[in-house]
Structure 1
């Protein structure tokens, strides 16, 4: 039977609870164990796996936090069952959407070549227009929360709205 550097960890030592007589002996055995290429490679691989898992959890957490701040679509001018009393001022090919959250909302008008809207309640803030692949543009609103993007990329769009009232995102809009 061959002896391996970690075999002593499984047998009681002279002090009953530790197989090493002192910290120097433990340190020396750890140095010897890490000097073995296979053990060293396993430790490095485990550390790398733990690092990537930790980074993945951080990224997932930030995505989850934004999902928890998702605004609810309460009006869509293209919906047949739009609530009575909500005015659609577009009168043409644009689409009006209203999103509400607990502390912040946004009204958006989507036209063929632009997206404009206003934070609700009317307040200064910042709005980011994004696609699943990238942030397209970020702009500051005026004093009453008005913003305008003179671009409308093809495909799904999402708005992230930030104001003193909080941060929230719209659901993905299929365009």
Structure 2
């Protein structure tokens, strides 16, 4: 065996050893999903993008409302940011997450207001920590 063949064989062995089997990937994704098992799910309860009645044209700003047991998260999507409020107001921290992870983090002020940006294209969700409350919204697609 030549030196070049040995180096190529070692490179192939190293590549094979670095690959993670799909079953192990599935186990990792399932374990990761349990990290928010104690968070309350806030369901989408209103979306101005959903046709209601007889509107002639779509709204200029898309408004979303996510309802949890003890609070709601109201959000308006503009071209460059996501403006929102936690009701009833409480300070905390909110994260904007897409499939790849955390995209943006913002502080929620004492009046419940926050601004996140940029708005992701595709699926996203919000993760709120405010006092003892931990709330995760369902996934929404833009």
Find the partner of 1:75 among 39, 46, 53.
46
* TM-score, normalised with respect to structure 1: 0.57
Which is higher, the Rg of structure 1 or of structure 2? 1
Contiguous gaps of at least 5 residues in structure 2: 1-23
Q: Cα RMSD (Å) of the superposition? A: 2.5
Contiguous gaps of at least 5 residues in structure 1: 1-51, 83-90
> Corresponding residue for 1:147?
114
Q: Offset of 1:161 from its aligned partner?
A: 1.1
Higher relative contact order (CA closer than 8 Å, sequence separation 6+): 2
- How many residues are treated as equivalent by the alignment? 113
* TM-score, normalised with respect to structure 2: 0.69
Q: Is 1:115 matched up with 2:88?
A: no
Q: Offset of 1:165 from its aligned partner?
A: 4.6
Q: Secondary structure at the match of 1:71?
A: strand
Find the partner of 2:69 among 83, 89, 102.
102
1:10-159 residue pairs with structure 2 within 5 A? Answer: 56=28, 58-66=31-39, 69-81=40-52, 92-159=59-126
Higher strand share: 2
Per-residue CA deviations over 1:107-148 (Å, capped at 9, x if unaligned) read 000112110100111111111011110201111111111001
